A and B are shown apart, each in its own frame.
Chain A
Amino acid sequence: MSKKQFLKMVILGDSGVGKTTLLQQYVTQKATGNSKPTIGADFQKKEVMVDNQQVNLQIWDTAGQEKFQSLGYAFYRGADSCALVFDITNHKSFENLAMWKKGFIENASPGDVNTYPFVVIGNKLDKEVNRQVTSQEARQWCKDNGDIPYYETSALENISVDSAFLEMAKTALKRGTQNALFSLPESIGGAGGAIKLNNFEDRGGAGAKGGAGKKKKNGTCC
C-alpha cells in the first residue's frame, strides 16, 4: 500500500443500454432500473484496492443521444480506460460500438490505440430471453478489434459488474495512467443528483501540473 493512484474512466454506448445503472450498481451496490437519461455527462468516484494498491477511480457517465456526442468528446480527454457498452437485447447498440470506439480514439488522443485499455460490456444479461447479440458474435468483434476483454453483465442483478470495472482498472494501471490534469468536484448534475462542489483535496492533488508522468497524491491527502 505505497501510494494512491488516480484513474479516469469513461463509459460510452447508445442511449438506454444501461451505462448509468452499471455505474450506479458498481459505486453504490444499488440499482433500481429507474435511472433518468443522462444529460451531458455525470461522474462518480470510487476507491478500490487493486493488487494491494489503493486506487481512486473517477468514472464518467455520458449521454447516449447522438446530439450530445460533440459535447461528450470534451470528457474523453485524459481517460485511462474506456468501457464500450451495448445492450445484448438490442443489436443496433452492438453495431454502434465501432462508432463509439472511433469517436473515442479520435477525440481522447489515447496514444497507442492497440494497447489502450478498452473493455466491452454486453449488458442486460437479466433479459437473456430477448437476446439479439450472441456471446460468440460479441467475442469475435472484440477479437477483431485488438483482443478487447469482453464482459457480459447485468447491472440490475449485479452480475459481473465488479469484475468488468476491475479489469478496466487493472489494465489501465498496467499501462500507466497519463492523467494528471483533471481535477473535478465530487459530483455534478445529470443523473447523479445535486451539484456538489467540494473535495478540495482532489482539486489540490489532481490539479498538480505535470505531463504524462504518474501522479503522486500522497502529499496533499491521507
Chain B
Amino acid sequence: MSKQSSHHRRKSEVNHSTTCDSTIQGEERQIPSIDILKAQKLDEINEILTAPKINIDRLREATMTKYGLVNDETRIKVWPILLGIEQLYKEEVQQSNDYKKVSLVNSYEKYKSDRQWIKYAQKQHKDAQQIEKDILRSLNSFDVCQEFTKSTKQLKREQLSNIITGVLVKSTRPEGGHPKCRLDEDLPQGNLHYFQGYHDVVSVLLLTLGENLGFYAADALSRTTIRDYMLTNFEGGVMPLMKLLMQLLKEMNFQWSNASLTLACHNHLSFPYTSSLQPQNQIKI
C-alpha cells in the first residue's frame, strides 16, 4: 500500500469511516472518500473555532461551501456564533435555575415555566389561529421526523408553538425584558408578524438546537435575516426585495434571469422560488 493510501486509512480510522473503494484499476491514485472530505471540512471548521479570535467571515463561508457544517454537533456550536447569541446562551445555561433574576437572559426559561400564560398567549395572539393550523401540519416532511412516535411529535409541536409564540410576543418588548403582560391585558402589537413558512424555519432550529437555544436562534433570526418577511405585510419588505433580486440577476447576466423572466412575466413568481424552504434538503445538508 502506498504512503498516500495509508495516510488516508489512518485518517479515516480516526473518523470511524472507511476509505473509498472506488480505486480505478491500474491507477495508483485513490479518490478520497466523502467521509475523508467531511473530516477535512470539520478540521477546517475546528481550526476557525479554536483560533484566538474567531474569523466570522471564514466561518460563514464554511457554512456555504461543500458539506456545510457537516453535522448537527457542529451546527449547535456555529449557528449561535453566527447569530450572535452564543454569550446569551452560555449565561442562560448557567443561570437557568435562578428565576429570581429578571433579565432577558433567562426570560425564555421564565416564559416557558408559566404554562398558564403560554396557553393564554397562544390563544390570544393575533396570528394564533394561523399558527395553530400550521403547527397541526408541521414536522411531517422532515426526514428526521419520520421516526417520531406520536407523543414525540406532539411534544415537538408544542415546543414549536412555544418558540413561535415566544418570539412574536417578545417582539412587543423589543428592548428586552420578560415578554409577559397581565392575563387580562390585550397583547400589545409586536413588530414581528407570522407568515406561513416561518414554522418551517423554526422547525429546523428546534430540531437542530433544541427548544431553549432554538428560541434564541429563532428570535435573532427573526429580527435580522428574515425580518422582511415578518413585517405586517409583504409590500414593505418582500416585494421591493423581489424587484431588487430580478434587477441583480439581470445585471449579472445570469442565465436564470432570462429564463425566469420569460417564465414569470412578472417578478412575483420569484418569491416561491427563493423563499420556500425545502425541508428535506435543509436538514440533510
User: Can you list, as one digit per residue, whether each of A61-92 has a CB less than 8 Å from chain B (1) or not (0)?
Assistant: 00111011011001101000000000000000
- Measured CA separation A65–B193 after assembly (Å): 12
Tell me the A29-82 residues at the B interface (CB within 8 Å).
Answer: 34-42, 63-65, 67-68, 70-71, 74-75, 77
A203→B273 contact, CB < 8 A: no
Interchain nearest-CB distance for A215 vs B (Å): 15
A183→B262 contact, CB < 8 A: yes
- From the candidates A70, A182, A194, name the one contacting B278 in the complex (CB within 8 A): A194
Interface size on B, residues (CB 8 A): 35
- Measured CA separation A36–B264 after assembly (Å): 24
In this assembly, does B244 line the interface, its C-beta being within 8 Å of a C-beta of chain A?
no
In this assembly, does A149 line the interface, its C-beta being within 8 Å of a C-beta of chain B?
no
A189→B276 contact, CB < 8 A: yes
User: Can you list, as one digit per residue, whether each of A163-194 has a CB less than 8 Å from chain B (1) or not (0)?
Assistant: 00000000000000000011111001110011
A16-B133, A194-B278 as given contacts; A36 in contact with B233, CB under 8 Å:
no
In this assembly, does B130 line the interface, its C-beta being within 8 Å of a C-beta of chain A?
yes
In this assembly, does A1 line the interface, its C-beta being within 8 Å of a C-beta of chain B?
no
Tell me the B201-249 residues at the A interface (CB within 8 Å).
Answer: 233-235, 238-239
For residue A65, which residues in chain B have a CB less than 8 angstroms away from its CB? 130, 195-196
- Measured CA separation A75–B264 after assembly (Å): 9
For residue A41, which residues in chain B have a CB less than 8 angstroms away from its CB? 272
- Measured CA separation A104–B152 after assembly (Å): 41
A67→B234 contact, CB < 8 A: yes
Interchain nearest-CB distance for B204 vs A (Å): 13
- Measured CA separation A185–B262 after assembly (Å): 11
A190→B276 contact, CB < 8 A: yes
B273→A189 contact, CB < 8 A: yes
Kindly specify which of B39-47, B60-68, B134-142, B154-162 makes contact with the partner chain. Answer: B134-142
B233→A70 contact, CB < 8 A: yes
The residue on B at minimum CB distance from A185 is B263
For residue B268, which residues in chain A have a CB less than 8 angstroms away from its CB? 71, 74-75
B272→A42 contact, CB < 8 A: yes
A40→B275 contact, CB < 8 A: yes
Interchain nearest-CB distance for A89 vs B (Å): 13
In this assembly, does A207 line the interface, its C-beta being within 8 Å of a C-beta of chain B?
yes
- Measured CA separation A178–B218 after assembly (Å): 45
B137→A37 contact, CB < 8 A: yes
In this assembly, does A15 line the interface, its C-beta being within 8 Å of a C-beta of chain B?
yes
A203→B263 contact, CB < 8 A: yes
Instruction: Output the residue of A68, A197, A207 with the most chain B CB within 10 A.
Output: A68
B266→A74 contact, CB < 8 A: yes
In this assembly, does A195 line the interface, its C-beta being within 8 Å of a C-beta of chain B?
yes
In this assembly, does B265 line the interface, its C-beta being within 8 Å of a C-beta of chain A?
yes
- Measured CA separation A20–B278 after assembly (Å): 17
For residue A181, which residues in chain B have a CB less than 8 angstroms away from its CB? 265
In this assembly, does B271 line the interface, its C-beta being within 8 Å of a C-beta of chain A?
yes
A184→B134 contact, CB < 8 A: no
17 CB contacts below 8 A, A to B, read A15-B134, A15-B196, A34-B141, A36-B140, A36-B141, A39-B197, A40-B275, A65-B195, A67-B196, A67-B233, A71-B238, A71-B268, A183-B262, A188-B272, A190-B272, A190-B276, A197-B259
Binding site for A on B (CB under 8 A): 130, 133-134, 137-138, 140-141, 193-197, 199-200, 233-235, 238-239, 259, 262-266, 268-269, 271-273, 275-278, 281
Binding site for B on A (CB under 8 A): 15-16, 34-42, 63-65, 67-68, 70-71, 74-75, 77, 181-185, 188-190, 193-195, 197, 203, 207
Nearest 5 A-B pairs (CB), nearest first? A189-B276, A40-B272, A74-B268, A39-B197, A16-B133
